[in-house]
Amino acid sequence: MSSRERRSTADSQARARDRSLLEGLRRGEDEAFRALVDANTGPMLAVARRFLRNEDDARDAVQDAYLSAFRSIDRFEGDALLSTWLHRIVVNACLMRLRTRRRRPETSIEDLLPGFLENGRLAVSQSAKRDRADHVLEARQQRALVTDAIDRLPDIYRTVLILRDIEGFDTEQTAGVLELSVPAVKTRLHRARQALKELLDRQVFDRLEAAKNQDSAPLVQTAEEVDHEMP
């Protein structure tokens, strides 16, 4: 069976499950709501935590999302999966909350964008010059570093990065939910990615330095120099 066939089988199974669940929801059956909430709350919380970085806010957003979903369950068309529909709703609930909540002090994005010398050349930072040893960080450490770096991005950049690179919205959809123009989304996404790169450079560099200085069981095992050759 090809992967596409497998996917479409899984998809049609999910649709069949949705159909019977939806009947229960529309009849107001408690078990149907329980099943819906059991299946979707984990993933929805994960989305909300990424956007809001705060457990209380994340839970409030998920609760808001459910309430708005429950109110509009009669209008759910069934052209998307229930999980996809809820995903869209929780993303919107998070964006709403981000717009209204008090701004937290944030790193300036300017500090994270590349600098240039007077002659227009890239000013390569110390941390970007490090050896290519990132890949020998353990997966768990690497995940923690990346999550932490995403969390440090200023809200307006983090939001675009999450929507485009993580939640799978395309540029037009992102522009739509954020009420921005397409070029504005592209500019923000590019800056967000540059800032993420810089943050990762710095964090990995710091780790490597710390490991070097400790001179004990290092985080980084001996890696071959992976310095690339220019063509």
Partner 1 sequence: MKCREFVEFLMSYLDEELDDTARSVFEAHLNGCRDCHRYMEDYVQAVELGRSVCREPAGPVPDDVPEGFVQAILQARRAVGSRGK
Strand partners, 122: 116
One residue of 22, 24, 33, 156 binding partner 1 per CB under 8 A? 33
Spatial separation of the C-alpha atoms in residues 154 and 158, rounded to whole Å: 6
Using CB under 8 A as the binding rule, whether residue 85 contacts partner 1 is answered as: no
| Token pair for 169 | 């919205």
- 161: nearest Cα among 134, 135, 137, 197: 197
Residue 223 binds partner 1, judged by CB under 8 A: no
Q: Residue 84 CA to chain centroid, in angstroms?
A: 16
The least distance separating partner 1 from the CB of residue 28, rounded to whole angstroms, comes to 5
Which residues share a beta bridge with 115?
Answer: 123
Cα 41 to chain centroid, rounded:
17
Check residue 41 for interaction with partner 1 (CB under 8 A).
yes
Q: How far is CA 98 from CA 55, 156, 158, 213, in A?
A: 14, 9, 11, 41
Q: Which of 98, 203 has the CB closer to partner 1?
A: 203
Cβ proximity to partner 1, 95 vs 150, nearer residue: 150
Q: How far is the CB of 116 from partner 1 (least distance, A)?
A: 5
Tokens of 117: 């010398």
Q: Which part of the chain contacts partner 1 (CB under 8 A), choosing from 82-90, 99-107, 143-151, 216-224?
A: 143-151
Strand partners, 123: 115
Q: Could you say which residues in the range 177-216 bind partner 1, by CB under 8 A?
A: 186, 189-190, 193-194, 196-197, 200-201
User: HSE (CB half, 13 Å, CA atoms) of 144?
Assistant: 8
The reply on whether position 225 binds partner 1 by CB under 8 A is: no
Instruction: Tell the smallest beta-carbon distance from residue 204 to partner 1 (Å).
Output: 10
* CA pair distance 190, 182, nearest whole angstrom: 12
Amino acid at 91: V
* Residue from the set 9, 12, 147, 181 that interacts with partner 1 by CB under 8 A: 147
Residues that bind partner 1 (CB under 8 A): 26-28, 30, 33-34, 37-38, 41-43, 45-46, 49-50, 59, 62-63, 66-67, 70-71, 73-74, 114, 116, 119-122, 124, 128, 134, 139-140, 142-143, 146-147, 150, 161, 165-166, 186, 189-190, 193-194, 196-197, 200-201, 228, 230-231
